[in-house]
Amino acid sequence: MDIESKILRNLDPIKKASTNTRYSKNVPGKWLVDDSCIDCDYCKNIAFNNFKRDTEDGQYYVCKQPTESEISKCLEAKKKCPVNAIHGSK
Site residues for ligand SF4 per CB under 6 A: 33, 37-43, 60, 81-83, 85-86
Phi-psi region of 76 (alpha: psi -120 to 50; beta: other; left: phi over 0): alpha
Q: Nearest approach, Cβ of 67 to ligand SF4 (angstroms)?
A: 19
Our CB check for ligand SF4 shows the closer of 67 and 82 to be 82
Residue 62 burial (10 A CB sphere; 0-12, 13-18, 19+): buried
Our CB check for ligand SF4 shows the closer of 38 and 75 to be 38
Q: Nearest approach, Cβ of 53 to ligand SF4 (angstroms)?
A: 7
Q: Nearest approach, Cβ of 45 to ligand SF4 (angstroms)?
A: 9
Percentages of the chain per state (helix, strand, coil), in multiples of 5: 35, 15, 50
Our CB check for ligand SF4 shows the closer of 3 and 67 to be 3
| DSSP three-state, residue 69 | helix
